[in-house]
Amino acid sequence: MWTAINQIFTSHHSQNAWAHLAVDGAWHRILPNAADGVANVHLILTTARTNGKQAYVVMDAAKNITQAYL
């Protein structure tokens, strides 16, 4: 679904990144399957947020973000 990104969160812990999506007003974790994958999705969502663009976000059944694109 297309959505604006309200906020981005990450910490020093391995593969711990989250995004607050405007579409449902909730925090969603970027699914931690691979370090590069989490970093890449986080970068796309951060780019969207920084530039005021919407991103297309794909989520799994548990509402974890699995994919994103601009």
Query: What's residue 66's pLDDT?
Result: 96
Query: What's residue 34's pLDDT?
Result: 86
Residue 8 has what DSSP assignment?
Answer: E
Query: What's residue 33's pLDDT?
Result: 86
- Widest distance between CA atoms in the chain: 29
- Domain interval for residue 65: 2-69
Query: What's residue 24's pLDDT?
Result: 96
Element (H, E) at 44: helix 35-50
Give the integer Cα–Cα distance in Å for 62 and 6.
Answer: 20
- What's the structural domain count of the chain? 1
Given a cut of 70, the residues of the chain with pLDDT beneath it are none
